[in-house]
Amino acid sequence: MSTRVQRMERTQRIYRIVVLLLVGAFIVVPLFASYKFSVRTTGLNVGKWDGWKALGQDPELRGAIKVSLQLAVLTVAGMIVLLLPTMVWTRVRVPWARRIVEFVCLLPLTIPAIVLVVGIANVQKWVNYLIAEGPMSLTFPYIILVLPYCYRALDAGLSTIDVPTLSEAARSLGASWWTVITRVILPNITSAVLSAAFLAVALVLGEFTFASLLSYENLQVAILQVSQTNARASVAASLASLAFAFVILFALSFVGHRRKEASS
Amino acid sequence: MAVSRRRIGAGLGLVPFFAYVAIFLFVPTVVVAVNAFSVNGRPTMDAVDSLFTSTLLRVTVRSLELSFITAVIGAVVGALVAYAVVTAKPNGVLRRAVTSASGVLAQFGGVTLAFAFIATIGTNGVVTAFVADHGSINLAGSGWLYSLNGLILVYTYFQIPLMVIVFLPALDGIRPQWREAAENLGASTWQYWRHVGIPLMLPAFLGSTLLLFTNAFSAYATAAALVSQGAPIIPLQIRGALSSETVLGHQNVSFALALEMMVIVAVAMVGYARLQRRTSGWLR
Amino acid sequence: MKFHRPTTALVAAAAVVLAMAACSPPSKNKGSGPQSAGTGSAGMQTLIANAKKEGTLNAIALPNDWANYGSVIKAFEKKYGITVHVANPAGSSQDEIDTIKKLSGTSRAPDVVDVGLTVAAANKDLFAPYKVATWAQIPNGIKDPSGLFYGDYGGVMSIGYDASKVPPITSVDDLLKPAYKGKVALNGDPTQSSSAQYGVIMTSLANGGSLDDMAPGVEFFKKLKAAGNFLPIDPTSATEESGQTPVVIDWNYLAAGELGKISGWKVFVPSNALVGGYYNQAINKDAPHPNAARLWMEFLYSDEGQNLWLNGSVTPARAQAMQKAGTIDAAAFKKLPQVGGTIQYPTAAQLNTGAVYLQKHWAEVTGG
């Protein structure tokens, strides 16, 4: 019996190694090649790190990085302001609406971004007219785009605490709803909020469809435009944005992990 | 009556959320649906009819082919990887590394991915140059990377990690007791898989494949960055309809194309939801 | 009963708000400006003063190395102290029109556009009529009589190539030879970009077609693709210099731009297939900076502006008149790629018919 199990385990180990090596190679080769491409100097009259230096020096890239980072911050803030009170409210007062809110939050997964862009032109014009022109107006569609992912993250967090009891207790002690949300609920779900924030940042940094078709210049649009004149810089910028997203999402996995340790 | 009034009062707390979603999600969707059937305010079937011309029909078929092929390849390879992860230690380094890498790579689409592949096997790519120097084969050929075949390769790159993320929970639901029970009844490995494992995993597998399908079908950024000439798939046709400087008056077709995309994705997602329900039934 | 009325009122209000959200908001810009500064210096002084007050000009889709726009913009900024913002340098003519429509009423809307003939003729209702001081010197064939758009610079279609990588080209059909495998690029997608459409017209003329008949051109590209010679990449100065696109079918002024930069670069203009075209300037009717827009036009069509363009290897609109008056930069004019033979200029109608044909048949070239 035990040799049988041992044989099975060995087969599985060989299988693991082979599969992960092959697929891993497929995944890693383009990343490695990108790096080599971004520092290639054969036949060109440029320095080795010029492509990477352009990230800080090229005005177009620099401006676009700033725009994308600002958009990320605004989107995270807007997402929290929109989602958190709503989700708390569905748990405390209107549990019958919870399925509806969930369904609505998952809808953006089924409506392709490019479809939304086609229909959003006039809405964006109103936003420009009433609130602000400029790339920051992208915040509004971006909040919609991050809804599904952030909803799931916040939902997981809110499910670990007893929201109705906590909020009733706080209210009976005289707290306002603002206090309940910011000083009672929020501190208990920091890891979930951080997860949602990280996901939103990764999404906003990688967003291209809305920015490009609405004629704004965010990071991805800038990378595409710069590629017309400086291919190495655009590949360097691509790698950098990927590395940044990787760092963020890697940090995310630790946030979740620490929470599990804390609660056990 | 007092209860209903309280319900409405409580419901008012949700108004900001629903108002926001109504303005930024529902209005654009409705605008697309309505404008697909009208031009300059007049109702007409012209835009939708043009969807069935040979050019656009071919484009639709290509879109479906691309999505289907990359979904299947991604699903099969991804399932193999997911199975490899599942047989490893549950909290071990391997599993965590693969799942977090998959999380990142599944989002790694768009412009960044397109350029990574251009840097690898484009006409000026690093691997192209390497192979040309050492083997005198021109990997980049006549630029196949920059058209539909290239899209198939590049899409697969993010489909595989997506499959790992989506399918892994289902594989986690396999109980070792099933294997033991089957073996007690004299089943071989092959028989176990054929009669127990695969049928139980099939709904989850098909559901995940559908998810990959819609993911590929809706993707725009990767194709926009990779394909600058020709519009072999629907999202690129939408880009063309919105920005062509030679064929004018074509923009209302973009609404029809967008509507077509919505319908196809909706159908696929309904299928996914059905399969999800069947899966969760088995894997409680 | 008692709660029905507030609910229905709420629903009705919501419906109205949503319907409004689906329509356009009112415009913020008034965008009115003079129709002409006149030839008097007083008119020009007022225009300059007003333009300086506006301080900014929104331009779009003007690459620095296209017709020497980089120098043109710098000279304008220096002369009048007005900052020029260029949005979307790689954009197409339709992108420019789309941006006018998308950003209409905002302060980011383009003030001026530089578009192909088809796009200009089709969007006259977006433009404001304006006749520059040197209006009479622009040939009649390339301007709209009421001043809504006017030709700015022209060139002919050509084939630029790196002679150190491929054999010399003596005719359009040379491109079908095996020596050019995977090397020939067209500037743009002909269903999207007018420069690419002119490229197809050129190959059509070289193969027995005419300005009304694009079929031989499409056939040529089908053969090019079948031979494996057609590279579906948009050529830019970066791809040309890196050797990715050693052969490009492009405007002669763009191909000539690489003459100093790549040793061995040559420009071939087929004498049996001379097709030329002018791009066109126009002012946005709702321009946020109407006076700056008009001053920009005056600058472009002044001797200084025209000569700056000339240095970008284009034939500026007033070339003939300036030659006669002796104000043209003779050295730069001589350096213009020599074209032997009569140049054919397609009309907007011919371009439209061609575009419709391309929309139906270009997919046969790219293989769907």
Looking at residue B173, what is its pLDDT?
Answer: 81
pLDDT tens, position by position, B206-215: 989 999 999 9
Q: How confident is the model at residue A264 (pLDDT cuts 50, 70, 90)?
A: very low
In A, minimum Cα distance to B272 occurs at: A110
Quote the CA–CA distance of B151 and B85 in Å, as a whole number: 28
What are the two backbone dihedrals, phi and then psi, of residue B117, each rounded to the nearest 5 degrees?
A: -75, -35
Separation in Å, CA A70 to CA A67, A76, A204, B250: 5, 10, 10, 35
Please state which of the ranges B67-81, B103-117, C30-44, C163-177 shows the lowest mean pLDDT. Answer: C30-44
Mean pLDDT across chain A: 85
Quote the CA–CA distance of C20 and C50 in Å, as a whole number: 36
Give B141-180 as a DSSP string: TTTGGGSHHHHHHHHHHHHHHHHHHHHHHHHHT--HHHHH
Picking from C93, C60, C121, C141, the residue whose alpha carbon sits closest to that of residue C345 is C141
Instruction: With beta carbons under 8 A apart, name residues in chain C contacting A122.
Output: 21-25
Quote the CA–CA distance of B262 and A114 in Å, as a whole number: 10
Strongest mean pLDDT among A249-258, C24-33, C94-103: C94-103
Looking at residue C35, what is its pLDDT?
Answer: 61
Q: How confident is the model at residue B6 (pLDDT cuts 50, 70, 90)?
A: low
C36 against B180, higher pLDDT? B180
Task: Report the amino acid identity of residue B64.
Answer: L
pLDDT tens, position by position, B159-183: 999 999 889 888 888 888 888 888 8
Please state which of the ranges B137-146, B151-160, C31-40 shows the lowest mean pLDDT. Answer: C31-40
Mean pLDDT, to the nearest integer, of C301-322?
A: 89
Looking at residue B46, what is its pLDDT?
Answer: 81
Q: Does B245 touch chain C (CB under 8 A)?
A: yes
Looking at residue A130, what is its pLDDT?
Answer: 83
Contact across the interface for B245 and C7, Cβ inside 8 Å: no
Quote the CA–CA distance of C116 and C94 in Å, as a whole number: 9
A256, pLDDT greater than 80: no
Looking at residue C15, what is its pLDDT?
Answer: 80
Q: Does A122 touch chain C (CB under 8 A)?
A: yes
Separation in Å, CA C88 to CA C94, C148, C283: 12, 23, 18
C37, pLDDT greater than 60: no
Quote the CA–CA distance of C203 and B108 in Å, as a whole number: 41
* Chains contacting chain B through 3 or more C-beta pairs under 8 A: A, C
Mean pLDDT, to the nearest integer, of B217-224?
A: 92
Looking at residue C308, what is its pLDDT?
Answer: 92
Q: How many CA atoms lie within 13 A of C277 on its CB side?
A: 26
Instruction: With beta carbons under 8 A apart, name residues in chain B contacting A29.
Output: 120, 127
Quote the CA–CA distance of C197 and C18 in Å, as a whole number: 42
Picking from C342, C351, C76, the residue whose alpha carbon sits closest to that of residue C201 is C351
Looking at residue B7, what is its pLDDT?
Answer: 67
C169 against C32, higher pLDDT? C169
Quote the CA–CA distance of C127 and C113 in Å, as a whole number: 9
Q: Which of residues 23-42 of A touch B (CB under 8 A)?
A: 23, 26-27, 29-31, 33-34, 36-38, 40
Quote the CA–CA distance of C197 and C216 in Å, as a whole number: 13
Instruction: Give, for C247, the enclosing helix (H) or strand (E).
Output: strand C247-251
Instruction: With beta carbons under 8 A apart, name residues in chain A contacting C20.
Output: 126
Mean pLDDT, to the nearest integer, of C220-229?
A: 92
Proportion of chain B above pLDDT 90, given as a percent: 31
Contact across the interface for C189 and B229, Cβ inside 8 Å: yes
Q: Does B61 touch chain A (CB under 8 A)?
A: no
Instruction: With beta carbons under 8 A apart, name residues in chain C contacting B19.
Output: 14
In A, minimum Cα distance to C29 occurs at: A129
ipTM of the complex: 0.86
Cβ-Cβ contacts under 8 Å for C326 (sequence gap 6 or more): none
* Chains contacting chain A through 3 or more C-beta pairs under 8 A: B, C
Quote the CA–CA distance of C316 and C331 in Å, as a whole number: 15
In C, minimum Cα distance to B55 occurs at: C360
Q: How confident is the model at residue A150 (pLDDT cuts 50, 70, 90)?
A: very high
Looking at residue A262, what is its pLDDT?
Answer: 46
Q: How confident is the model at residue B260 (pLDDT cuts 50, 70, 90)?
A: very high
User: Is the sign of the CA dihedral B1, B3, B4, B6 positive or negative?
Assistant: positive
**Closest CB from A122, A130, A229 relative to C24:** A122
pLDDT tens, position by position, B41-69: 788 888 888 888 888 898 999 999 999 99
Proportion of chain C above pLDDT 90, given as a percent: 37
Contact across the interface for C92 and B55, Cβ inside 8 Å: no
Contact across the interface for B143 and C232, Cβ inside 8 Å: yes
pLDDT tens, position by position, A208-244: 999 988 878 899 999 988 887 788 888 999 888 888 8
Instruction: With beta carbons under 8 A apart, name residues in chain A contacting B103.
Output: 249, 252-253
B10, pLDDT greater than 80: no
In A, minimum Cα distance to B124 occurs at: A37
Instruction: With beta carbons under 8 A apart, name residues in chain A contacting B23.
Output: 123
Quote the CA–CA distance of A57 and C236 in Å, as a whole number: 22
In B, minimum Cα distance to A15 occurs at: B84
Give C293-346 as a DSSP string: HHHHHHHHTSHHHHHHHHTTT-EETTHHHHHHHT-S-HHHHHHSPP--SPPB--
Quote the CA–CA distance of A95 and B166 in Å, as a whole number: 28
Mean pLDDT, to the nearest integer, of A3-7?
A: 80
Strongest mean pLDDT among A125-134, B46-55, C43-52: C43-52
Looking at residue B250, what is its pLDDT?
Answer: 67
Q: How confident is the model at residue B3 (pLDDT cuts 50, 70, 90)?
A: low
Looking at residue A263, what is its pLDDT?
Answer: 44
Mean pLDDT, to the nearest integer, of A65-82?
A: 94
Mean pLDDT, to the nearest integer, of C116-133?
A: 89
Looking at residue A4, what is its pLDDT?
Answer: 76
